[in-house]
């Protein structure tokens, strides 16, 4: 997860610029020594070995990954809820369409093998 995240840089957009970069806010947090050590280790292990990424950038990436994962989970829950709430008639109709499509695929493959 961490290795695939890209470095995010932030700067104030110049006038007339349509930059989508975020303006970051400075905050101070108190973290356990273990958390600081983990962030420093992740910072040192980023993609570009010649250039360390800041611990703040690593922490920002971790938090954004959590938010992204929560959004993905919400979408998956909504999809599951949709399928769970279908009527028996809707479920049977989807089964019938699936059987029809499968039969069509088989017929196409048979025609290819004969031709």
pLDDT of residue 11: 45
Asked if pLDDT for residue 10 goes beyond 90, the answer is no
43 and 75 together in one domain: yes
45 and 75 together in one domain: yes
d(Cα 109, Cα 101) in Å, to the nearest integer?
12
Contact by Cβ (8 Å): 46, 58: yes
Confidence (pTM): 0.57
Q: How confident is the model over 20-78, as pLDDT tens digits? A: 677 889 999 999 999 999 999 999 888 776 667 889 999 999 999 999 999 999 999 99
99 and 70 together in one domain: no
76 and 37 together in one domain: yes
- Whole domain around residue 111: which residue ranges? 87-115
pLDDT of residue 20: 63
> Domain for residue 21, yes or no?
no
């Amino acid at each position: 997860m961490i290795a695939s995240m890209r470095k995010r840089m932030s700067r104030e957009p110049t006038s007339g610029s349509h930059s989508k970069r975020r303006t970051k806010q400075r905050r101070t947090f108190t973290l356990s020594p273990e958390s600081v050590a983990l962030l420093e280790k992740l910072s040192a292990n980023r993609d570009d070995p010649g250039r360390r990424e800041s611990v703040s950038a690593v922490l920002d990436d971790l938090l954004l990954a959590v938010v992204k994962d929560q959004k993905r989970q919400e979408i998956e829950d909504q999809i599951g809820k949709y399928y769970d709430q279908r009527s028996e008639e809707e479920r049977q109709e989807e089964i019938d369409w699936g059987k029809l499509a499968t039969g069509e695929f088989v017929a196409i493959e048979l025609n290819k093998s004969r031709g």
